[in-house]
Amino acid sequence: MYLSGKFKNTKAASNEALKDSKLSLKAKGLYAVIQSYICIPGFCLHKEYLRRAGKEGQKAFDSAWKELKSAGYLKMYRVPVNGHVTYEYELL
């Protein structure tokens, strides 16, 4: 069974990604939104929350997500929990 992942870090990430000319504005926007949420004390940010937070469709969200992963700004860790698999994400 697949469970939606959550972000594991709660510290502010660098703005380097926002200045990276190789990233699309769509990916930069997603990075900025993630960054704004991970600093909120006690807030547990899930990937599905991000997906539903914008008006973009699944395909647009997934392409921005993949772009951040490919560029090395987003790390994904597979974590076994009670016989299931979940994921943790880290914004770099």
What digits encode the pLDDT tens for the residues 20-56? Answer: 999 999 999 999 999 999 888 888 899 999 999 889 8
Report the C-alpha gap between 32 and 3 in whole angstroms.
24
- Judge contact between 23 and 67, C-beta under 8 A: yes
- Domain spanning 6-91 has what CATH number? 1.10.10
Whether 81 shows a pLDDT value over 90: the answer reads no
The CA distance from 89 to 78, in Å, is 9
- The ranges assigned to domains in the chain are 6-91
pTM (2 decimals)?
A: 0.85
